[in-house]
Amino acid sequence: MAQFEEVSQKSAIHPKPVGLVLQYGTAGFRTNSKQLDHVMFRMGLLATLRSKKTKATIGVMVTASHNPEEDNGVKLVDPMGEMVTPAWEVYATQLANAEQEELLTALKDVIEREAISMAQEASVFVGKDTRPSSDSLSQAVLDGVHALGGHSKDYGLVTTPQLHYMVCCQNTQGRYGEATVKGYYRKLSQAFIQLTKNVPNRTDDQKALLVDGANGIGALKVCEMETYLKNELQLSLFNDGSSGKLNHLCGADYVKVQQRAPKGVEMTAGERCCSYDGDADRIVYYYSGSAGRFHLLDGDKIATLISTYLKELLTQAGLDLQIAVVQTAYANGSSTQYLEDTMKVWTHTLLSLSNTHMRSVLTSPPSSQVIVRCTKTGVKHLHHAAQEFDIGVYFEANGHGTVLFSKAAEKKIQKLAQDSNTNAERRRAALLLQNTVNLINQTVGDAISDMLLIEAVLAIRGMTVQQWDAIYTDLPNRQLKVKVADRRVIDTTDAERRTVSPAGLQEAIDSLVKKYRQARSFVRPSGTEDVVRVYAEADTQESADALAHEVSLAVYRLAGGVGEESKSL
């Protein structure tokens, strides 16, 4: 077949280093960019096959997100904008690791197993972040697509969530939005303006937000979007990429792990600040307290703010829709406790305080508790779990997350928002819900969309960042990294909260945890960096630090540590 000859010829331009084996990680392949040319070409091939199989457009994003600038990686996007299905991660691994002369056999194997018709047209959308290596690597993806006769659309520099959005728009024939960057800006900014337009007396101070763009693509894109927001949000952008290095001493991952402000952000006490990561799919907020103390509002605080807001609107609208919050093992113990215990009390209080008219519309009272689920790290896992509910709010503590609304929930909200016979208060709540749905990028975590949502929620609820922070108090915590010879020796269970190998490690962690109050700790191999991650929390920062350190030493000793014993970045 001519297509296979073309693949053979083109793959010779993107040869695989003999013997190199790469694992499909938490969010695709990720390593030093010098090792990735053949992987990119092959992911172009795979995306084309996936497109033929699904008869839909598939996305390929060239990015290594929070990793250092010299790394790169690839994220594959399925038809509805979600991460590629796990079954195809296996094919991705087979193709990426097939030696040069085995590539065609590996390719034909996928075609056969998936019964793919090679006559079917294919379409692949490609995007890239701002890394110097992204230009040539995205060209390698395009070469792969064209070698199999696929059609491509190269979006060039876009954020990861923008590419996910384009794929979803394309495959829903525009129902989700227009598959252009301008269309994305228009949809989100209109929803934001609708949500905030009736908030009385928003001052310039309340509209002001400091943004750390991590010297990455998010900085470029939020600049482009600013005019669409018509001064309803006044952004001061730092780390815009004009001088600093991507993710270096800045960005969401640095701020979250180091628990300190990024370099270059000039913040005064009480000012709201946020940081994106390298491909703008994560966001964390923070501010400096009056005594100069750094306060972090991470993914857990974001999930709490959003779920509280949604629950309140559902109650006001008299809509009986179940809300769940999906977290991972990294979720701060205080956030889980707040969601499980306090949210229930809060809802009851709200109901009892509601006026007589409100009570009369609540023919069937809303479910009283927010369900909390825990999954393995990786948005693909959280996304999947969140899909099981009417409304699934999912956030990793690192700030990666979004909200999913089931089609039925969206319909109920829309129907109520358009029902002119319903009373004004219910309708107002339904309209706010409807605009909230429009503001959210439901395909994947999106720093820009999340930022606009948080800003809208704070405005609507009249909350300062300090009031948001005071919803609950985080347990002090610490994250460390340990380098081991082969991180695959660590195997975990129970949503990564316990290890099953190497022998003795879990017992060692258990006995260390017992030494501290309100303590918890777990370890897991990273799927984006060549390290083992250690997490610990306890009643004081000293205890959390000591526990993290001791657990790191246990990992080092029992899991084949190499080099430095542990470090925090």
Binding-site entries for substrate = 396-398, 524-528, 533
Q: Within positions 415 to 434, which residues make up the interface with ligand G16, using CB under 6 A? A: none
User: Between 107 and 146, how does the x/- string for binding to ligand G16 read (CB under 6 A)?
Assistant: ----------------------------------------
Single residue of 469, 474, 529, 550 touching ligand G16 by CB under 6 A:
529
Instruction: Classify burial at 64, counting beta carbons within 10 Å of its beta carbon; exposed 0-12, middle 13-18, buried 19 or more.
Output: buried
Q: Within positions 251 to 310, which residues make up the interface with ligand G16, using CB under 6 A? A: 277, 281-282
Encoded amino acid at 39, one letter? V
The answer to whether 125 touches 60, Cβ cutoff 8 Å, is: yes
Single residue of 74, 379, 484, 513 touching ligand G16 by CB under 6 A:
379
Active site annotation includes 65: yes
197 DSSP assignment: T
Least distance from C-beta 370 to ligand G16, angstroms? 22
Nearer to ligand G16, 221 or 282 (CB): 282
Residues flagged as binding site for Mg(2+): 65, 277, 279, 281
Nearer to ligand G16, 134 or 434 (CB): 134
φ, ψ dihedrals at 175, nearest 5°: -65, -30
What's the CA gap between 44 and 142, in Å, rounded?
A: 6
Say how many residues touch ligand G16, by CB under 6 A: 18
Apex 16 CA angle, 11 and 17, nearest 5: 150
Least distance from C-beta 65 to ligand G16, angstroms? 3
Read out DSSP for 63-124? --TTS-TTEEEEEEE-TTSSBPPHHHHHHHHHHHHS-GGGHHHHHHHHHHHTT--TTS--EE
Least distance from C-beta 526 to ligand G16, angstroms? 3
Least distance from C-beta 61 to ligand G16, angstroms? 10
Q: Does 398 bind ligand G16 (CB under 6 A)?
A: yes
Single residue of 69, 232, 390, 396 touching ligand G16 by CB under 6 A:
396
Q: Does 483 bind ligand G16 (CB under 6 A)?
A: no
What's the CA gap between 165 and 352, in Å, rounded?
A: 40
Encoded amino acid at 351, one letter? L
User: Between 61 and 80, how does the x/- string for binding to ligand G16 read (CB under 6 A)?
Assistant: ----xx--------------
Close Cβ partners of 19 (under 8 Å, ≥ 6 residues apart):
none
Specify the stretch interacting with ligand G16 by CB under 6 A; choose among 5-13, 263-271, 412-420, 522-530: 522-530
Q: Which among 464, 450, 470, 457 is positioned nearest to 206, based on CA atoms?
A: 464
The answer to whether 325 touches 386, Cβ cutoff 8 Å, is: no
Least distance from C-beta 256 to ligand G16, angstroms? 10
Nearer to ligand G16, 402 or 422 (CB): 402
Q: Does 532 bind ligand G16 (CB under 6 A)?
A: no
Single residue of 7, 10, 24, 27 touching ligand G16 by CB under 6 A:
27
For 145, half-sphere exposure in the C-beta direction (CA atoms, 13 angstrom radius) is 24
34 DSSP assignment: G
Single residue of 187, 272, 376, 533 touching ligand G16 by CB under 6 A:
533
Single residue of 221, 256, 301, 400 touching ligand G16 by CB under 6 A:
400
569 DSSP assignment: -
Which H or E run contains 238?
strand 234-238
Residues flagged as binding site: 65, 277, 279, 281, 396-398, 524-528, 533
Nearer to ligand G16, 161 or 476 (CB): 161
Single residue of 528, 543, 552, 566 touching ligand G16 by CB under 6 A:
528
Please state, in angstroms and as integers, the Cα–Cα distance from residue 31 to each residue in 41, 73, 133, 526, following that order.
15, 6, 12, 12
Q: Does 378 bind ligand G16 (CB under 6 A)?
A: yes
The answer to whether 68 touches 57, Cβ cutoff 8 Å, is: no
What's the CA gap between 213 and 225, in Å, rounded?
A: 13
Nearer to ligand G16, 187 or 381 (CB): 381
Beta bridge partners of 324: 371, 392
Nearer to ligand G16, 192 or 395 (CB): 395
Least distance from C-beta 381 to ligand G16, angstroms? 8
Specify the stretch interacting with ligand G16 by CB under 6 A; choose among 132-140, 208-216, 304-312, 371-379: 371-379
Least distance from C-beta 281 to ligand G16, angstroms? 5
Q: What is the largest CA-CA distance in the chain?
A: 75
Among 51, 65, 133, 307, which one carries the catalytic annotation? Answer: 65
Strands 491-493 and 498-501 come out as antiparallel
φ, ψ dihedrals at 101, nearest 5°: -75, -10
The answer to whether 165 touches 441, Cβ cutoff 8 Å, is: yes
The residue ranges that bind ligand G16 (CB under 6 A) are 26-27, 65-66, 277, 281-282, 377-379, 396, 398, 400, 526-529, 533
Q: Which residues are catalytic?
A: 65
